[in-house]
Amino acid sequence: MSTTLDAAQDAAIDSAAPVRILLSLPGIHCAGCIASIERDLGHHPGVESARVNLTLKRASIDVSPGVGADELVERLDRLGFEAHELDPGTLSRGAGDRQERDLLIRLGVAGFAMMNIMLLSVGVWSGAEGATRDMFHMISGAIALPTVVFAGQPFFRSAWASLQGRRLGMDVPISLAIVLASGISVYETFHSGPHAYFDAAVMLVFFLLAGRYLDFRTRAAARSAAQELAALEVPRASRLDPDGEHEVPVADLAVDDLVRVRPGGRIPVDGVVTEGTSELDRALLTGESLPAHAGPGTALSAGEVNLTGPLTLRVTAAGEDSSLHRMADLVATAENARGRYTSLADRAARAYSPVVHLLALMSFIAWMWVSGGDVRLSVNIAAAVLIITCPCALGLAVPAVATAASGKLFRGGMLIKNGTALERMAEIDTVVFDKTGTLTLGTPEPTNLDTLDADTSAVAAALAQASSHPLARALAARLTVTPAAIENVAEVPGYGVEATWNGQRVQLGRARWVGAEPEALTAAYLRIGSAAPCALTFTDRLRPGAEAAIAALRRQGLSVRLISGDAPGAVAALADRLGIEDWRAETLPADKAALVAELTAQGRKVLMVGDGLNDTAALAAAHASVSPASALDAARVASDVVLLGQDMTPLGQALRTARVATRRIRENFVISTVYNIVAVPIALFGFATPLWAALAMSLSSITVALNALRLK
């Protein structure tokens, strides 16, 4: 009996436990946005806490059971923030954060130990002899050995994995040098030798960890773009059953089920409208800047947004079979293909590592023969050769330059996310732009309001304020006249808004609905009574710096193309304005990815610049990719570079910097090679102890880093 009561109590507690809802907030950009959203959500009934992450552009909200994501999205929409629900089940905390924290801890331990051991070494170098010297060596060993074991684990694990795979990676000579320096030092300490090289061993670990951390910071991408796309799928839907409407997981839906989608909600499945009319925002999937009409028989895709009227859909595909999920698969495939790209440093290390081991072995054999079997001397010289030829400078060649270039571009408004992005961007010969939200800001601007008389402007302002349509919002924002006093206001889903003014019927909406012939340009149509309808035309506002960026790309001899899901008239007008001769309109996401694949097959190195879900497959498939900060999470994650501000001018500078950075990388390879040509013979002939070898190796690393800093 008590067991049953306990179970009932546990169930009651579980049912009352707060539920966590995750929302994507692609439009936030400052601390003010965070404060506004957290404060507003905190006033919503049932919200226990709300926290916004500006970096991820995501809100985490703990709510009481019964509070739905739809009402939170609607509240944020009224506040002026775009929001999309994320499925927390598909988002896991990445191992990347743990790896970065692990490297940073090991780097800190190695740095602290190195400073203390160097203080003790100063005492030895100053002339400490006998028992004092041995004591300093023992204290150094007591600090160094645990440090090497702990801080050197990333290299030891990697080296062991390489040996198990029967290959010699860069970490094999590194690990061997660390072990030899430590082993020789222990031997020298217990035999009261004049030299111990604990400082060399820890110094090696510290500099190598610094290089590894820089490399990780420049290469790390926060999350998989395919994972972000999957998280944007709607996790629940309202299914219409014989006994009423029920909210169920999308995974439980089957073909031919009926689903209800309310205004403001995202379409959870692929389906066909059976009842209702509305407007659809398809910008996420197709790039269309204007809402599309939806009525009975219209085929809809998962991820589209229902704007104005309730719709009933008959499911044709759900879950893994939906178009949104298939797009995620496209992105995952493209990401995997690009992930096989090998950096210059990795390629050089394949040939370099065997040479390092061979030189060390040859020096040991030669000195065993020359010294008449003096193992101690031979091992010391072999260790010095191994340390002095340690590929530390080679390991820093790429990340040092990438970090310097990333800092320069960051100050100019570009964030480099991928360690090999600069190398790939330096090879670019073709740039493909998306239109809406990339070259333009995705916000319609009225173009002919100055032709309206006072009464017409007042009626237009009143009708525009009564509608949630994007064109109506743009009109309401630009019309500064006092709105007319209208009555009987009604929004007709899928068509427009109508009312009565001075006893006359007034309408604002689609051309056919008000009795007008559609214009070639983007337009809303206003009719007052029996007067002829007038067209209120719009253009999409050009992104600042777009013309300058395209001019800069042309000066660099690059081919520029425009591809968009928008209507041909709008795309042609923008292409003519920017002087882009090669353009395509009404393209689907698969068409964009296909164009990139086609250009790649022709031997072109393509830079894709886009901002929406419809661009993610093309962004991931391109040789390199850029997205603006206003892009959706999935597009930013799929891209190599993020444009931090609205201004697109830094794009041309980014490609120039990439070419200079690649030159610096090659110079660093030359520096590393020249260093080895000079230093290796010195070690081979026995003129360098392991400590001096470690100092020389560190000098080469510093030289490489200083050369990289010339980028600034």
Give the residue numbers annotated as catalytic, written as ranges.
434
Can you spell out the DSSP letters for 629-682? TTS-HHHHHH-SEEE-SS--THHHHHHHHHHHHHHHHHHHHHHHHHHHHHHHHH
CB atoms within 10 A of CB 643: 28
**Phi, psi angles (nearest 5°) of residue 343:** -75, 165
Q: Is the dihedral of CA 632, 634, 635, 637 positive or negative?
A: positive
H or E stretch covering 239: strand 236-241
3-state helix, strand, coil in the chain (%, to 5): 55, 20, 30
C-alpha span between 361 and 370 (Å, rounded): 14
Burial of 25 (0-12, 13-18, 19+ CB in 10 A): buried
C-alpha span between 637 and 639 (Å, rounded): 5
C-alpha span between 640 and 288 (Å, rounded): 24
C-alpha span between 404 and 397 (Å, rounded): 11
First-to-last C-alpha distance (Å) of the chain: 75
Sheet containing strand 58-63, strands side by side: 47-53, 58-63, 19-24, 84-86
C-alpha span between 371 and 230 (Å, rounded): 67
C-alpha span between 133 and 193 (Å, rounded): 9
C-alpha span between 553 and 80 (Å, rounded): 35
Q: Which residue in the block uniquely carries the two structure tokens 């990719």?
A: 625
- Residue closest to 89 by CA, chosen among 17, 164, 22, 37: 22
Say how many CA atoms lie within 13 Å of 260 toward its Cβ. 11
Query: Which residues face 84 on adjacent strands?
Result: 24
Query: Which residues face 509 on adjacent strands?
Result: 496, 525
Longest alpha-carbon distance in the chain: 116
Task: Please give the torsion angle defined by the CA atoms of residues 207, 413, 85 and 71, in that order, rounded to the nearest 10 degrees.
Answer: 130
Output the six-digit token pair for 50: 């709300």
